[in-house]
Amino acid sequence: MKKKTMYHLLVGICLFVGIGLFQSEEVHGENKEPHIFVHGLVGFGPDELKPFPITYWGGFSTILGELNTKGYPSMEAVVSPFGSNWDRAVELYYYIKGGTVDYGAAHAQKHGHARYGRTYNGLYPQWDGQSKIHLIGHSQGGQTSRLLETLLREGSSEEQAFAAASGVEVSELFKGKKEWVHSITTLGTPHNGTRLADIAKPLISDLIYGLATATGSSSINIPYDFKMDQWGLRQQTGESNRAYMKRVLESNIWNNSQDVALHDLSIAGADTINQTTNLADNVYYFSFAGDATYRSGVSKNYLPSITMSPLFTIPSMILGKTGTTEWRANDGLVLVISATAPFTQKSKAADNIVEPGIWYVEPVIKGWDHIDFIGQDYLQAPLLRKSVRNFYEKIVLRNYTL
Which residues are the active-site residues?
A: 139, 331, 370
- Contact in structure between 197 and 265 (CB atoms under 8 Å): yes
Dihedral sign of CA atoms 28, 29, 32, 34 in order? negative
Which residue blocks in 233-380 are alpha helix, DSSP H? Answer: 241-249, 253-256, 261-264, 267-276, 313-320, 336-340
Alpha-carbon distances of 334 from 143, 215, 316, 393, rounded to whole Å? 13, 29, 9, 24
How far is 365 from 20, CA to CA, in rounded Å? 10
| 3-class secondary structure, 275 | helix
Rounded CA-CA distance 244/238 in Å is: 10
**Quick one: which H or E segment has residue 152?**
helix 140-154
Q: How far apart are CA 192 and CA 159, in angstroms?
A: 26
For residue 7, with 0-12 CB atoms within 10 Å meaning exposed, 13-18 middle and 19 or more buried, which class applies?
A: exposed
Structure letter (DSSP) for residue 50: T
